[in-house]
Amino acid sequence: MPELPEVETVVKSLAATCQGLTATEIKFYRKDIREPIPIPQFRKALLKQAVVSVERRSKYIIMNTKTGSAIFHLGMSGQLLALKSKKPQFKHTHLVMTFTGEAQNIYLHFVDPRRFGRISAHLGEAWEQHPFFGQLGCEPLEQRSLGTYLWNYGKKSNRPIKSLLMDSKVVVGIGNIYACESLFLAGVHPERSAASLSPKDYQAIAAAAKKTLRLAIKAGGTSIKDFKSMEGKSGYFAISLNVYGRSDESCNICGNSIGHIKQSGRSTWFCGLCQK
DNA sequence: CGTATCTCCTGCAAGC
DNA sequence: TGCTTGCAGGAGATAC
């Protein structure tokens, strides 16, 4: 599942690959994935004009031209692959964009078996106005005093801390893996109510989240499961997981057995001794 | 209003 | 071996 660090990696590759190139052909193989794709707007935003820049907000990928922006979300099984062939190479290829360069064409394939991804577009300069971005919380790596920011939300909330961390209206980009791993590093039990935690706990959680995200970005994305780079290479498994998916294995710190529970329908792993 | 639960989808793995 | 079942997950929709 591409999480924030993986998306950051894709954005960098896309910028290196497509910036300055012009999409000369756009072929959709579906008119919807999670929701209908605004195909005319997408074409209008991208076709026949140079890509000026590629950005990330939350886990969205934004490709800008002079007239607008193409917007992608990889969901949990999505990939953007730069291939040498125009022909779909995989069963669930939903979109192929032909980018014309001086040397050779680049074919950007959007592949997403589980169709949890999104494709949209915004015309005009301010893509921030697109509905996708209206409700989003802060960027964890850009927020000054993330700990204080989180505490301000958490101090008046009885939700479990893990649910707060995964709420994109509060802070974006912290999916299940990073929530579990950050809470482990911070020594905080995932079921603790947000209001029961001290400012110091929040500083520890914020530091752990930033550290894990930064490490993963530096490593080119963690690629825990389905993630592949734009060249189709599997990831580097650079981040060793302390708790995620490690049911009944022993804790790297204390040797205690890693616990597995469900929180609002999502799996949570933790060490009952290291996390209080 | 805040919070919890349901929903979308396919591929894979476990269990019988 | 071939079936069924459960699970993975972001985030919008819906329900309380």
Q: What pLDDT score was predicted for residue A232? A: 46
Instruction: Give CA–CA dist A149/A198, Å, rounded.
Output: 13
Instruction: Give CA–CA dist A145/A131, Å, rounded.
Output: 27
Reference A203, options A143, A272, A136; nearest CA is A143
- The amino acid at A125: E
- The amino acid at A134: G
Residue owning tokens 């014309």:
A100
To 10 degrees, what angle do helices A199-218 and A4-18 make? 40
Class of domain A146-270: mainly alpha
Q: What pLDDT score was predicted for residue A46? A: 97
Task: Give A249 CA → C8 C1' in Å.
Answer: 20
Q: What pLDDT score was predicted for residue A239? A: 61
Q: What is the pTM of this model?
A: 0.92
Q: What pLDDT score was predicted for residue A102? A: 81
Q: Which nucleotide is nearest to A157 (CA to C1')?
A: B2
Q: What pLDDT score was predicted for residue A2? A: 82
Which residues are bridge partners to A121 per DSSP?
A70
Task: Give A199 CA → B7 C1' in Å.
Answer: 36
- The structural domains of chain A, with segments of one domain joined by +, span 4-133, 146-270
Instruction: Give CA–CA dist A16/A39, Å, rounded.
Output: 25
Q: What pLDDT score was predicted for residue A236? A: 37
Q: Is A154 exposed, middle or buried (0-12, 13-18, 19+ CB in 10 A)?
A: buried
| Residue numbers in chain A where pLDDT is lower than 70 | 1, 221-239
The question of whether A2 is a catalytic residue gets the answer: yes
Per-residue pLDDT of A156-200, as tens digits, reads 999 999 999 999 999 999 999 899 999 999 999 999 999 999 999
Active-site residue identified among A3, A6, A8, A181 = A3
Residues of chain A (90-109) having a beta carbon less than 7 angstroms from strand B: 91-92
Q: Is the CB of residue A178 less than 8 Å from the CB of residue A209?
A: yes
Active-site residue identified among A56, A57, A59, A246 = A59
The question of whether A3 is a catalytic residue gets the answer: yes
The question of whether A55 is a catalytic residue gets the answer: no
Q: What pLDDT score was predicted for residue A90? A: 92
Q: What pLDDT score was predicted for residue A228? A: 43
Q: What pLDDT score was predicted for residue A53? A: 97
Instruction: Give CA–CA dist A44/A70, Å, rounded.
Output: 9
Class of domain A4-133: alpha beta
Give me the DSSP letters along chain A. ---HHHHHHHHHHHHHHHTT-EEEEEEES-SBSSSB--HHHHHHHHBTSB--EEEEETTEEEEE-SSEEEEEE-TTT-EEEEES-SS--STTEEEEEEEE-SS--EEEEEE-TT---EEEEEESS-GGGSGGGTT--B-TTT-TTHHHHHHHHHTT--SBHHHHHT-TTTBSS--HHHHHHHHHHHT--TTSBGGGS-HHHHHHHHHHHHHHHHHHHHTT----SS-B-TTS-B----SPPSSTT-TTSBPTTT-PBPEEEEETTEEEEE-TTT--
